[in-house]
Copies of this chain bind each other. A is one copy, B any other.
């Protein structure tokens, strides 16, 4: 079988190293290039010593990548610059495929992009072409896509459990209140005071309250599902762990819906999905039970009153919340088995 030749742009960050972890064990992929502009020339094992026993390409600049040898590019670069980089990639090689892990192509609406990111989009045509990559919800479009916009980690965690409920009109769109607790690795590897061990351990705090940019992704997907404008309240919490996102979602039930009906709807929606498990009604998921895997666990619990329910969803922010879903999307784009390279089980304890 011919291997798919891939390049990873931005390999010195955590989503980059996670792509290497997964793709090194993918049977149909060959990693042909790894870039990290400021660390070009170094071995990947200098930056991530867990790979010391692997035979990997050296880190290079993006300019050094021989695009003619590459079939698909994973782009794990900072948002903002990504749109220019990808536009140039397609200019040089229009038939190349791209799975982008930045935020640059997630919002289909140019006005929404400009509102949330504070400047006009620099690659408007690509923005409209990009497919939003929640694999389970946009599978058909992803298969045909040239550019997949891998969604945010918080977004995936809330979109998966809420979109089916909105589609079936089981919950009131204005009532959605999300508290999404996340570990530190989602913030990346840039050295910032607020990310130091001493600033993060043994404590918790909210951030981006009332205005986190992943809210825009929720609006986009929730509005489409509900067929109307929704305005979920979304509050991220930073908690002292590395991996994992855990969304606690309070919803008001619509009409005569019950918590059991929500559970039934989600069970049906994800029946047969290899990576999404809806737990038995009333069971509460734990982030540690998906750690290191591409798995998602969803729970639905009734509140004590009849009109509300609590929906809980958890995944590993670096896997299903980033690099794992990127590989899943690559599998779809390339026509591989969707689970290839992604069957590792969670590490617990």
Residues of A within 8 A of B (CB): 14, 17, 21, 24-25, 48-54, 177, 179, 181, 183-185, 189, 191-193, 195-207, 209-211, 215, 231, 233, 235, 237, 239-244, 246, 248, 250, 274, 277, 279, 284-293, 295, 297, 301-305, 308, 310, 312, 314, 318, 343-349
Q: Considering the complex of A and B, which 9 residue pairs feature the smallest CB-CB distances, nearest first?
A: A203-B288, A205-B286, A198-B349, A50-B346, A179-B179, A197-B200, A50-B289, A184-B197, A177-B250
B53 touches A295 (CB 8 A): yes
Q: If A191-B192, A349-B14 touch, does A204 touch B246 (CB 8 Å cutoff)? A: yes
Q: Which of B24, B235, B248, B304 contacts A345 (CB 8 A)?
A: B24
Measured CB to CB, the closest approach of chain B to A321, in angstroms, equals 13
Complex: A156 Cα to B262 Cα, angstroms = 32
B50 touches A203 (CB 8 A): no
Complex: A301 Cα to B50 Cα, angstroms = 19
Question: Which residues of chain B are within 8 angstroms of A195 by Cβ–Cβ distance?
Answer: 191, 196-198
Taking CB as reference atom, which chain B residue is nearest A231? B305
Q: If A179-B179, A302-B210, A344-B25 touch, does A241 touch B202 (CB 8 Å cutoff)? A: yes
B312 touches A209 (CB 8 A): yes
Question: Which residues of chain B are within 8 angstroms of A349 by Cβ–Cβ distance?
Answer: 14, 184-185, 198-199, 201-202, 242-243, 318
Complex: A14 Cα to B53 Cα, angstroms = 27
